[in-house]
Chains A and B, each alone.
Chain A
Amino acid sequence: MVRLVAFLVGLFFSGMLLLGLGDTVITAIQEPAQPTAEHEFHEMPLAVNFAHDGPLGKFDRGQLQRGLKVYSEVCAACHSLKLVSFRDFAALGYSEDQVKALAKGWKTEVPSINPETGEPATRPAIPADKIPSPFANETAARAANNNALPPDLSLITKARADGPAYVYSLLMGYRDQAGYKNEEGMEILKEFPEAATPPGLNFNPWFANLNIAMAAPIAADDQVTYDDGTKATKEQMSKDVAAFLTWTAEPKMENRKSAGWAALGFLLIFTVLAWMSYKTIWADKKH
């Protein structure tokens, strides 16, 4: 009885799936999927190397400091960094006083209240504060940005596939759409005239739907003056800020890797010992 019922159920499910298969194939032949501009022109992140890549990689402190400078002078105009505190910047190689100065000198102040009247007010940041957001709330952010919401950048490199390379590619990826061709030589406006970038958006093949609200933030060389004398090319700034945002997404990355090596070392010894006891104990038993 069990087998009879099972046979019928199996026949039903498999049959319906094969019917569905026929249906899928017929539909695909009658109405083949139309190629879309996103499918043809969206680019995977560019290959880019960072000092922190790989199991042995460590952050390049100088690069993180340069990245912080790019963030604070360029990105911070629109993008918040809500999960990071000023005190965390000590990990970038700043002294306690430098962190204090960074907090105090930050362009945006921290929302507070007037201690006398209780009215809303602002005060300079201290190391214990999170980085103040450029806009008071989502509505203010949208109002200032043509109804687009600049995302918080704290976790952006974890929230995108191949995150650090994605940020780098996106910053470097602004192109003139007129005459833009992909690697196969397909010209976007000829093949997909309807994909023309609407006014107020910017063409960028590294963005999922090719049109991003953010105008090219890193527009010219030397937009930022680096303290360490590094030449601030567009590529250098994009790379530095991508490295900085990798750190904001995972400030404990170096702890993680070094703890990983310690754990692996311990386990290797444990496993060798376990293997030896296994062999010793089973020595007289054929199995």
Chain B
Amino acid sequence: MSFPWAQEYKPQGTVSKWVDERLPLPRLVYNAVGAGYPVPRNLNYFWNFGVLAGVALVIQIVTGIVLAMHYYASVDGAFNSVEHIMRDVNSGWFIRYAHMNGASFFFIVVYIHIFRGLFYGSYKAPREMIWLLGVTIFLLMMATAFMGYVLPWGQMSFWGAQVITGFFSAIPLVGEPLRQLLLGGFAPDQAALNRFFSLHYLMPFVIAGVIILHVWALHIPGSSNPTGVSVKGEQDTVPFHPYYTAKDGFGLGIFLILFVAVTFFAPNMLGHPDNYIPANPLSTPAHIVPEWYFLPFYAILKAFTVDFGIPFTGIIIIPAKLMGVLAMFGSILLLFFLPWLDTSPVRSGHYRPLFRKFFWYGLIPCLVVLTYCGGKPPYTQWVVLSQIAAAYYFAHFLIILPIVSRIERPLPLPNSITEAVTGTPLTPAAA
């Protein structure tokens, strides 16, 4: 499960030995995130974000459990119970703001983690399974975040739930019954709120379980690195502890400073004012928008404006709404196929001149545009921009990437990680 030169766990005291013989949990931790896990020595700061995502999940679970002690899942009481937490519970305002902004920071960290993987080709053999599990975690996170946003039962909670569960009604024949089954009624109401609360409490632990698989799968081939060159020998690696625990400690400090700055000084910056209005099924907000981290997908949904049918007959095969829903889910599901769409044997974007251009000048601007347009009302200029960007998004992954992989001539790779780091070719003995 690791490189042959990995340090072995040697229990020192009698108790440690006794435990190790009966339940080698300390050994497991030692091999997972301790000195027993050799990691490439050349990781840059983008490799901090896996650990940071784990910290963000812990923050969410801890604050969430405390919130659940004071929260009341009722259409009459939910909104006021959140305000009770904000006003009357000791430090409740802190717990609630931390949870609210913690969700945003979890997504920021995970998005950077995903882009790290996309740029450095971390999804390629032999790490496909890590990637597949990662996309699964991302999907679970999205479901969890959506349900969590419904719980305060503000206007955006209610209308967001209305819109998102409405996606299911776009499915032909079974759509509407399916939607009613999911909601437990014709519209979001007490039944929906209760089950969302139940699932919102459950899902983080499912996520934690998949994270264990994600890390397990990571430890089979070991961590990737910015050159994308595989580890060739002991000189290419350092033990995770103390080298990367120290580096992650520093990264954690920076992350927490930013998190604290937003949580304490601009706690509502990333939220929507309408969610401080209690849910009212009789009053639709002027613009229903999801949380910022869903905006690119929301823009893709809204970008589909024409039905797919047989021209001049009026026969519609796929209505625009259904296509938007399919495309929105498809835009995430396509990530599952990425390891087989990008066939270039070179992992790192550093050594892929053409891929790098499409990544920085295509994919990143396209996602920025989608995020921006997703939050805008449907005026012509925003619709046009999101249609261009969404078209590029699908073309990038499904058409451009396979072609680029085929025609690109990668730059020469360094012979080893150590060579890339020190600048001089080294023999294993000299290191």
Binding site for B on A (CB under 8 A): 2-3, 6-7, 9-11, 13-14, 16-21, 23-25, 27-28, 33, 55, 83, 88, 151, 154-155, 158-161, 163, 208, 249-252, 255-257, 259-261, 263-264, 267-268, 270-271, 274-275, 277-278, 281-282, 285-287
B417 to chain A: closest residue by CB: A287
The answer for the CA separation of A262 and B341 in the assembled complex, in Å, is 49
Question: Which of B86, B246, B264, B268 makes the CB contact (< 8 A) with A260?
Answer: B264
What's the Cα separation between A179 and B178 when bound, in Å?
A: 55
Q: Which residues of A contact B252 (CB under 8 A)?
A: 274
Interface of A, secondary structure class, is helix
B-chain residues with CB within 8 Å of residue A28 when the two chains form the complex: 380, 384
Residue B414 at the A interface, CB < 8 A? no
Considering only CB atoms, which chain B residue lies closest to A263 in the complex? B260
Please report the number of residue pairs spanning A and B whose Cβ atoms sit closer than 8 angstroms. 172
Minimum distance in angstroms from B239 CB to a CB of chain A:
11
A11: B residues at CB distance < 8 A: 398-399
Output the nearest chain A residue to B388 by Cβ-Cβ distance.
A21
Q: With A14-B394, A159-B274, A271-B254 as known contacts, state yes or no: A6 contacts B260, CB within 8 Å.
A: no
Q: Complex formed: what's the CA distance from A287 to B327 in Å?
A: 42
- In this assembly, does B12 line the interface, its C-beta being within 8 Å of a C-beta of chain A? no
Which B residues lie within 8 Å of A154 (CB)?
A: 83
Task: Give the chain A neighbours of B254 by CB distance below 8 A.
Answer: 271
Contacts A14-B399, A24-B383, A28-B380 hold; do A278 and B246 have CB atoms under 8 A apart?
yes
Does B97 touch A at the CB level, under 8 Å?
yes
Q: Kindly provide the distance from the CB of B201 to the nearest chain A CB, expressed in whole angstroms.
A: 26
Could you tell me if B391 and A264 are in contact, using CB atoms closer than 8 angstroms?
Answer: no
CB of B276 closer than 8 Å to a CB of A: yes
| A-side contacts of B379, CB under 8 Å | 33
**Assuming A159-B274, A160-B273, is B390 touching A17 (CB within 8 A)?**
yes
Query: A-facing mask of B337-364, CB < 8 A → 1, else 0?
Result: 1001101000000000000000000000
Provide the residues of chain B in CB contact with A21, threshold 8 Å: 384, 387-388, 391
CB distance from A16 to the nearest CB of B (A): 6
Q: Convert B170-193 into 0s and 1s, putting 1 for each residue whose CB lies closer than 8 angstroms to a CB of A.
A: 000000000000000000000000
Contact B246 A277 (CB under 8 A): yes
Residues of A within 8 A of B249 (CB): 274, 277-278
- Chain B CB count within 10 A is highest, among A2, A17, A208, for A17
Residues of A within 8 A of B388 (CB): 17, 21
- Check B41 against A17 for contact (C-beta < 8 Å): no
Asked whether, in the complex, the Cβ of B306 is within 8 Å of the Cβ of A19, the reply is yes
Q: Does the CB pair A252–B86 fall under 8 Å?
A: yes
Is the C-beta of B305 less than 8 angstroms from some C-beta in chain A?
yes
Contacts of A88 in B (CB 8 A): 87
**A161, B305: Cβ atoms under 8 Å?**
no
Q: A residues within 8 A CB of B165?
A: none
Cβ of B286 within 8 Å of any chain A Cβ, yes or no, is: yes
- Check A83–B380 contact: CB distance below 8 A: no
**Given the known A-B contacts A16-B323, A155-B276, A286-B422, are A267 and B257 also in contact in the complex, defined by CB atoms under 8 Å?**
yes
Q: Looking at A10, A83, A257, A278, which has the most chain B CB atoms within 10 Å of its CB? A: A10
For B243, the chain A residues whose CB sits under 8 A away are 281-282, 285
Q: Which residues of B contact A275 (CB under 8 A)?
A: 250, 253
State whether A18 and B391 are in contact (beta carbons under 8 Å apart), knowing that A275-B253, A282-B243 are contacts in the complex.
yes
Known contacts A2-B340, A16-B308, A259-B264; A274 and B93 CB within 8 A of each other = no
Interface centre among A249, A252, A255 (most CB of B within 10 A): A252
Distance between A220 CB and nearest chain B CB, rounded to angstroms: 31
Contacts of B341 in A (CB 8 A): 2-3, 6
- Report chain A residues within 8 Å CB of B402: 3, 6-7
B261 touches A2 (CB 8 A): no
B265 adjacent to chain A (CB < 8 Å)? yes
Q: Across the interface, do B250 and A23 meet the contact criterion of CB distance under 8 Å? A: no
Q: A14-B391, A250-B86 are in contact. List 7 more A-B contacts (CB 8 A).
A: A16-B308, A23-B306, A83-B83, A158-B273, A159-B276, A257-B264, A275-B253
Question: A-facing mask of B283-318, CB < 8 A → 1, else 0?
Answer: 000100000000000000001111010000000000
In the complex, how many angstroms separate the beta carbon of A40 from the nearest chain B beta carbon?
14
Chain B residues whose CB sits within 8 angstroms of the CB of A163 once the complex forms: 273
Could you say which residues of chain A place their CB within 8 Å of the CB of B340? 2-3
Query: B395–A14 contact, CB under 8 A?
Result: yes
Residues of A within 8 A of B323 (CB): 13, 16
Q: Is the CB of A13 within 8 A of B247?
A: no
Contact of A282 (CB < 8 Å), options: B247, B263, B398? B247
Closest 4 CB pairs of A and B: A260-B264, A10-B398, A271-B253, A159-B276
Q: Is the CB of B273 within 8 A of A274?
A: no
For the complex, give the distance between the alpha carbons of A22 and B274 in Å: 34
Closest chain B CB from A162 CB (angstroms):
9
Least distance between A271 CB and chain B CB atoms (Å): 3
A83 and B286 contact, CB distance less than 8 A:
no
The CA of A65 and the CA of B8, in the complex, are separated in Å by 68
Q: A52 to nearest B CB, angstroms?
A: 12
Given A16-B323, A274-B246, A263-B387 contact (CB < 8 Å): no
Q: Check B28 for interface membership: any CB of A closer than 8 A.
A: no
Q: Which residue of A lies closest to B339 (CB)?
A: A2
A267-B273 CB under 8 A given contacts A9-B330, A10-B394 = no
> Closest chain B residue to A151 by CB distance?
B277
Docked pose: A5 CA to B242 CA in angstroms: 46
Do the beta carbons of B304 and A274 come within 8 Å of each other? Answer: no
- Give the nearest-CB partner of A10 in chain B: B398
Name which of A3, A13, A154, A268 has the most chain B CB atoms within 10 A of its CB. A13
- What is the chain A residue whose CB lies nearest that of B94? A259
Residues of B within 8 A of A281 (CB): 242-243, 246
Most buried by B among A208, A257, A259: A259
